[in-house]
Amino acid sequence: MAQKTKKNKRLRYQRIRQNQTEQQYDYLTERHVIRPSHPKYSVLDHFSHLANNVYNQGLYRARQALFKGVWLSYNKLDASLKQSKRQKDNMIYGSMKSVHLVQQQLKLVARSMDSWNKARKAYAKNPGKFTGRPKLPKYRTKGGLSTIIVDNQTAKLRKNGYVEIPCMDKFKIKLAHPETTAIQEVRIVPQNRRFIVEVVYKTNQTVQYNPDNGRYLGIDPGVNNAFTLVTNVPGITPVIVNGKPIKAINQFYNKQRARLTSIHDLLGQNRSSRRLTSLDFFRNQKMNRFAHEASKRIVDFALSHGLNTIIIGKNKRQKQRSRMSKQNNQNFIGIPH
């Protein structure tokens, strides 16, 4: 039985490796921060509220149909809202000035419901793989903000590397790479009283993954040593990615947040303020930068030594099952391994 299991794992690994070594196009993402001082900030805020309303309306219809024993796919959900618009009993389908923007939100609803359905079936077969019974997707906060997804039919690539969304009051963003010839999509993500505009575009390069050559790089995540890199190749000195700077940032964030929330509690105020959101944004930006720089350094190290396979191990729920001291748990959980 054990030999059969090992053989199945080996075959599955070979299939995954084969799929990854097929030719793929390289996609890049640019992130731009839109602050409240930006002249189009109010436009993004308005459309983000509309996206939230469309998602909740789509989810409401999907859930109500499910309770009646009917499964609404994306096509049925789209047809339901179209019919409501024609009958003029619900005009939310035309609220975002673009059918494509509404359809992207409905696709998110359909994807969430499909994921829940798959998780429910998997839970019925093996509950031990889950921490609890999968629950139906929840509604988003009423009056809140949601991510706006703009496809490449709605977002237009203009001259000199500008991306324009005409239906959103001609909102424009200038790409850092003006030589870009085609974009995939634009995501506008509300975050800490700001909007992160993520432009996804395809480069002219193709990705060719290196075949398995028996030279492996193993990664051990930690706190002070964020990542320890070791290989099975003699003569290559292990490398450590220093985690102390990001640990210090995380500790500073925890102390400042605790101080500010205690002040709000003493004054009987709600735990939300510009200082808290700015603090959250500062910490998130630092963490994102660390994650990108660390991953690039690891990949560059592997390529420079001909290590075609990187192994970090099976670490499911390592954050939830961390059994260190309170301080070490706080530091370990806060680092984006």
Q: What is the pLDDT of residues 266-288, one digit of tens each?
A: 888 877 788 888 999 999 889 88
CA–CA distances in Å: residue 272 to residues 192, 264, 281 = 10, 8, 13
Looking at every residue in the chain, the average pLDDT score rounds to: 86
Residue 10 lies in a domain: no
Would you state the pLDDT for residue 159?
85
Residue 13 lies in a domain: no
Q: 116-151 burial, b for 16+ CB within 10 Å, e for fewer? A: eeeeeeeeeeeeeeeeeebeebeeeeeeebbbbbbb
Based on the fold, state whether residues 141 and 229 are members of the same structural domain. Answer: no
pLDDT single digits (tens) 156-211: 998 888 999 999 999 999 988 877 888 889 999 999 899 999 999 877 666 677 88
117 and 195 inside one domain = yes
pLDDT at 24: 58
Q: Is the pLDDT of residue 323 over 90?
A: no
Q: Does 105 score more than 70 pLDDT? A: yes
Entry pTM = 0.79
Indicate whether 195 and 224 sit together in one domain.
Answer: no
Same domain, 62 and 121: yes
Task: Indicate if 223 and 197 belong to the same structural domain.
Answer: no
Give the pLDDT confidence score for residue 208 in this predicted structure: 74
What does the pLDDT look like over 219-231, one tens digit per residue? 988 888 889 999 9
Q: How confident is the model at residue 320 (pLDDT cuts 50, 70, 90)?
A: low
Examine the domain organization and report whether 314 and 196 are in the same domain. no
Residue at which a domain ends, from 177, 207, 237: 207
pLDDT bracket for residue 321 (50, 70, 90): low
Note whether residue 202 is domain-resident.
Answer: yes
Contacts of residue 199, defined as CB under 8 A and 6 or more positions apart, other chains included, come to 29, 30, 32, 163, 173, 175, 183, 186
Pair of tokens at residue 194: 């700001």
pLDDT at 61 over 80: yes
pLDDT at 317: 66
Note the pLDDT tens digit of each residue in 38-55.
999 999 999 999 999 999
- 147-156 per-position pLDDT tens digit: 999 999 999 9
Q: Kindly state whether residues 173 and 203 are assigned to the same domain.
A: yes
* 3 inside domain: no
Residue type, position 257, single letter: R
Residue 11 belongs to some domain of the structure: no
3-state secondary structure of 153: coil
Please indicate, yes or no, if residue 4 is contained in any of the structural domains: no
| Residue 335: pLDDT band with limits 50, 70, 90 | confident
Which domain range does residue 275 map to? 216-334
Same domain, 198 and 229: no
User: Which pLDDT tens digit goes with each residue over 226-251?
Assistant: 899 999 999 999 999 998 888 888 88
Same domain, 177 and 315: no
Torsions phi, psi for 190 (to 5 deg): -75, 130
Which of 207, 227, 243 is the endpoint of a domain? Answer: 207
Is 108 within 8 Å of 149 (Cβ atoms)?
yes
Shared domain for 125 and 37, answered yes or no, is yes
Q: Residues 203, 253: one domain? A: no
Over residues 73-88, mean pLDDT: 91
Phi, psi of 241, rounded to the nearest 5 degrees: -90, 115
Picking from 183, 207, 231, the residue at the C-terminal end of a domain is 207
Task: Please check whether residue 15 lies inside any domain of the structure.
Answer: no
Q: Say what the pLDDT of residue 51 is.
A: 96
Q: Which of the pair, 316 or 231, is modelled with greater confidence? A: 231
Q: What is the mean pLDDT of residues 85-103?
A: 89
Residue 261 to residue 271: CA distance in whole angstroms = 6
Give domain status of residue 26, yes or no: yes
Percent of the chain with pLDDT over 90: 50
Sheet with 156-157: list strands edge to edge. 156-157, 162-165, 171-174
Same-domain status, 69 and 138: yes
Q: How many domains, the chain?
A: 2
How far apart CA 120 and CA 134 sit, in angstroms, is 6
